[in-house]
Structure 1
Amino acid sequence: MDEPVFVIHGVGNRDPQAFTTTVAALQAAAGTTLVPVYWGDLGADDRFIDLALPFRSAGLRDTPETADAPSELLLATLLDEAVEPASGDLPMPLRDAIRQGLDPSRNSGLRDGRDSPDADQVLAALADEWPTTQWLSRSDDPSLLNETGTAIARAVTCTQETDDSWAGLRGAPPADGTLRSLIRRRLADLDRVAGAAMKAVAGRMNHSLRHHLGPGATRFLGDVLVYQRHREQIHARVWEQVAAVDPELGRTPGRPVRLVAHSLGGVIAVDMATAREPLWTSSLLTFGSQSAYFHLCDPRGGQLSPYAGHEPVSLPNSLARWTNLWQPLDVLAFAASRVFRLADGTSPVDLALPHAATAGLWTHSVYWSLPELASAISEAMQPPAS
């Protein structure tokens, strides 16, 4: 009779009963006996982490003290503040919109019989003013640039006789400086509107990302910090729960365990399977895990050598097989096959799972309910072909 498969949870799990229920549902789907290994009570105290997060008012608008900084910070990332200052080279969508808007065949018959202003004259003036814009000159969005060009063209062909339009300018042709003044004012107005829109979008994006990703990310960091300091205590809990099934399991090559592990649980499993006194593991399946990333940043020790930049790190024979699942939108999931090599010379198997449309932004915990996980467990835990 096959030994059971032990399931080690990841970060942020503080409800042992809920974890047991999740594993039971996974067992039914996978058709394999699964034993939950709970260590969440040894994790970070995350009851008060919201106190460290930038806050938002209960209303629709940001509070005054937080309205500007987050948006500007995010915009600096999105727009890359390190790029060279904008030049007078006008983007093609902007040029095309100007020429189309000033096409004489489209704009003949203006009031008082005047024709459209010369497109080259307008483009030359616009090129001089373009580097002064803070937002428009950084954009490469064709729709925004096209609408900007259309607005400039309309401004200089306006048929309303005002002091702020081409038709309101006295004399034909108008002085070049007057046209430039009109373009300068219109461009500055458009740039302010674009900047306000970008700030509004970035502010909402900043809040949305914090709302959807913040709690999970902060709990992840909290448990990682605790694990780094209390690794032995958490490993002892895993040994204890394995021994509760059979005290001989995992102690020798002849009685290896089979493990399924999520997130930081995968790091725990790899650390234990590669320790100087290892948890002998015949099959490991990780999902949404970080072992490779952690080892590259800070070598894990045990029987693992640091990554030297040339060949993958050799895994000891105490970890015989390894399947690693990841999702494209899971920012806490990392690949293992380019960092490690198994003792038999093969690579761990990295498998990408499809993104579920209903998963939203935070996909780190969605694996548990995916049918692909149950299928992967059934396949990975089969004994190797003889």
Structure 2
Amino acid sequence: MTSVVFVHGTGVRAKSYEKSLARVVSGLGRVRADIRVVRCFWGEEHGASLGLDGASIPVRSKNRGAGGDEVLDEDDPLAVWALLEVDPLAELREFAEAAKARRGGGARAGFAPGRQDPWQAVADTARGLSLEAVSDGGGSLDELVADLAPHLGPAGGRVAREISRTLGGTPPADGIEAIAARAVYALAVQRAEGPHGDEEPLAVDGADRDTVVGALTDQLGGAGRGGFMAGAAKGVAVRALNSYLSPLSSLAHTFRGGITEGAVPASGDILRYQVRGAGVRAAIRAAVRDTVASGDGPVVLLAHSLGGIACVDLLAEPDPPAGVELLVTVGSQAPFLYELDALTALRRGEPLPGAFPRWINVHDEQDLLGFVGEKVFPGRITDLRVNTRQPFPRAHTSYFAHRRLYELLAPELPA
């Protein structure tokens, strides 16, 4: 039986590691029944923390100017999802403003006695949205549905109130179904990740996200989703996309303390590894040693992000752990650090040691923290590209929810 030692990346602690481990076990189990997944959790003992309760974080003074005037492209669906990550209702509000502008002002239109407000039906449907019929038979889509289900009702209710408040009394307009569906989805994800983002970001494949949004759109009465937006909804997001970036810079300063503390596990682990990385490498070495000693066949290291850097450093040491037949790095920066001459055990210009195992490197082009290595180590590394259909930074955390990843790895894993 082949053993896959799963090494996590930066910012991961006990709860999120267990979730990622479960995804890997499930994903590999679907494509290779002969795989045993072995734990290698180093975050608790060797990860970073603010030892002085954030005493180094400055208090922002008032009247500090906001910066940034870049704009996002309305024709890029990832740009819209990036906006909804920040404000799930932004697109819906812009739709309402456009609806009011089309009838020439903000005054509500009158209705004949007994006529139902056309937006009320949409609002009522939003309150009763369900994902009970959405399934892929136990895969990543079912996991996403399970994560979102407890939050769908409150999210639908919030969108329903926004529709009634901003669109009530305006004439009917095309395109609300998909916009409302995206708003419900984005709110449900936000709620699932905690009010302050204190839960691990959901690892969501873009195809699963689109399936869920499509199901919600269908329930809302939408049709003909040939493009990302339809009818009067086309172009609605551009004003919101362009108007949100400058305020975001100011908000980031205003809430810097909370943002910094929340970012410590992710960014702090990277900084700590550069000067205290021996502990992480020792934890991986111990996991490999114990796995080899158990006699469960070939050993594979499957490592995400910073975990991939640590594995490359470990396997490039003069005395690497014996028994590793394959290294799989996912969303890793190891080739980039080699080019920067920033790896611990391998200087730029030095080749990989002769005993270095076969190396497969997985990346997503939307993941700004994922790099390629075939031109860095010619003939010693194979790059595999996946497409989670997620914007950054979610693209970096969604690899292990992506079914295609396991399909690509299945024939590569030793028997």
The question of 1:40 aligning with 2:40 is answered no
The answer as to whether partners of 1:282 and 1:318 remain within 8 angstroms in 2 is no
Which consecutive unaligned segments of at least 5 residues does structure 1 have?
Answer: 56-62, 79-195, 308-312
1:48-197 aligned at under 5 Å gives the runs: 52=57, 65-66=63-64, 68-69=65-66, 71=67, 74-75=68-69
Higher RCO (CA < 8 A, seq sep 6+): 2
- Residues 271, 205 of structure 1: alpha-carbon distance in 2 compared, 3 angstrom cutoff: same
Give the letter aligned to residue 6 of structure 1: V
- Residues 317, 53 of structure 1: alpha-carbon distance in 2 compared, 3 angstrom cutoff: farther
Pick aligned residue for 2:376 from 329, 339, 347: 339
Task: Find the counterpart in structure 2 of residue 362 from structure 1.
Answer: 394
1:269-288 aligned at under 5 Å gives the runs: 269-280=311-322, 281-288=324-331
Partner Cα separation in structure 1 for residue 311 and residue 291 of structure 2: 17
When normalised by structure 1's length, the TM-score is 0.52
Task: Find the counterpart in structure 1 of residue 121 from structure 2.
Answer: none
The answer as to whether partners of 1:327 and 1:333 remain within 8 angstroms in 2 is yes
CA deviation vs aligned residue, 1:187-239 (integer Å, no higher than 9, x gap)? xxxxxxxxx9998443145479999x988865432111111222221122112
The question of 1:223 aligning with 2:269 is answered yes
Secondary structure in structure 2 of the residue aligned to 1:228: helix
The answer as to whether partners of 2:340 and 2:348 remain within 8 angstroms in 1 is no
Task: Find the counterpart in structure 2 of residue 326 from structure 1.
Answer: 363
- State the shift of 1:360 in Å: 6.3
Pick aligned residue for 2:406 from 359, 374, 380: 374
Partner Cα separation in structure 1 for residue 295 and residue 320 of structure 2: 11
When normalised by structure 2's length, the TM-score is 0.49
CA deviation vs aligned residue, 1:142-162 (integer Å, no higher than 9, x gap)? xxxxxxxxxxxxxxxxxxxxx
Partner Cα separation in structure 1 for residue 362 and residue 252 of structure 2: 24
CA deviation vs aligned residue, 1:63-104 (integer Å, no higher than 9, x gap)? 9635x33x2xx23899xxxxxxxxxxxxxxxxxxxxxxxxxx
Partner Cα separation in structure 2 for residue 336 and residue 241 of structure 1: 26
Task: Find the counterpart in structure 2 of residue 291 from structure 1.
Answer: 334
- Residues 19, 228 of structure 1: alpha-carbon distance in 2 compared, 3 angstrom cutoff: same
Deviates more, 1:283-292 or 1:237-246: 237-246
The answer as to whether partners of 1:249 and 1:257 remain within 8 angstroms in 2 is no
- Residues 347, 246 of structure 1: alpha-carbon distance in 2 compared, 3 angstrom cutoff: closer
The answer as to whether partners of 2:48 and 2:272 remain within 8 angstroms in 1 is yes
What is the alpha-carbon root mean square deviation over aligned residues? 3.9
Task: Find the counterpart in structure 1 of residue 300 from structure 2.
Answer: 258
Partner Cα separation in structure 1 for residue 393 and residue 260 of structure 2: 11
Give the letter aligned to residue 355 of structure 1: T
Which consecutive unaligned segments of at least 5 residues does structure 2 have?
Answer: 73-238
Give the letter aligned to residue 351 of structure 2: S
Secondary structure in structure 1 of the residue aligned to 2:293: coil
CA deviation vs aligned residue, 1:271-303 (integer Å, no higher than 9, x gap)? 11111111243211111101011122234253x
Task: Find the counterpart in structure 2 of residue 171 from structure 1.
Answer: none
- Residues 235, 364 of structure 1: alpha-carbon distance in 2 compared, 3 angstrom cutoff: same
CA deviation vs aligned residue, 1:16-40 (integer Å, no higher than 9, x gap)? 5334433322332342221121111
Work out the percentage of aligned pairs sharing the same amino acid.
24
Secondary structure in structure 1 of the residue aligned to 2:2: coil
Give the number of equivalent residue pairs.
238
The answer as to whether partners of 1:292 and 1:335 remain within 8 angstroms in 2 is yes
- State the shift of 1:371 in Å: 0.6
